[in-house]
Every structure is written in structure tokens, then in C-alpha cells.
Amino acid sequence: MTENLITRPFILVIDQQQKVLDAIASVLNRTGLSCRCCTSAEAAMAVVAKAAPDLIVCDLNLDGENGMATCRRLKSLPGMADVPVMLLSGAQLPDVIRRSPDDGCIYCIRKPPSPKVFIELIEQALGAAAMN
């Protein structure tokens, strides 16, 4: 007998603020999405070494490293080039928004995101990634 196993999309969330991670994890879990939260770039690198996520959600400002630099490092790892990235920022930064597609980011979202809009963007990102 063969079972059809449906795996939930795995989202890697990186933010130095535990309060933000907890809020995002709550929203994702309520919608049936699986996530792993990290408070640093190094912790995220360790997670990706074990399992590639379907989507990366990363804060722009991390301790010790810019969020875009973190995402570039993550996407340079084997099997990670096509993983979509969403950036989060507490500030509206026009230069970041303009540069983010060049750095492999599909969305740049201001924190705190509306849960409804956030989930819609995640679903769009996962859908676009599945088409690649």
C-alpha cells in the first residue's frame, strides 16, 4: 500500500528579535505552514545545511550582518539558488526596495506586516517558486 505524503512548505525566518519571530511563527503555524526561526545569520546557515527551505523570510538588519548579505550567502549554497527571499524591514528604504530584486529578493515588506497580506505574499512566493 502506497501513501501519498503531503509535505508542508518549510519557511526559514530570520530576525534578531524573538518577539517578531514568535509573531511570525504564530501566523505561519495557524495557516498550516512549517517554519524554523533563527535569530542570526549563523544559525540560519546551520539550518540550511540540514534542509533547504522553500522560502526565506529575513529581516534587513541583523546583528553582525545585513539581511541582504545573509540571503546572498544562503542562496550561494548548493540547492539554494532558486529559493525565494522576502525581506522584512522596520523602515521604508527606497534603495533597498529598488535593489532587492537584483539580490534575489521577491518582496520587501515593512514590519510589522499585516498577517493577511503577509500570508498572501508567502502563498504567491511559494506558488512562483513551484513554477520554476
Three-state secondary structure of 89-128: ECCCCHHHHHHCCCCCEEEEEECCCCHHHHHHHHHHHHHH
What is the pTM for the complete model shown? 0.85
* Residue pLDDT, tens place only, 29-88: 999 899 999 999 999 999 999 999 999 999 988 887 888 888 888 889 998 988 999 988
Average pLDDT along the chain? 83
* Position 111 confidence tier, pLDDT thresholds 50, 70, 90: confident
At residue 71, the pLDDT reads 87
Q: What is the bridge-based pairing of β-strands 61-62 and 65-66?
A: antiparallel
Domain ranges, ordered by start, for the chain: 10-127
CATH class (in words) of the domain with range 10-127: alpha beta
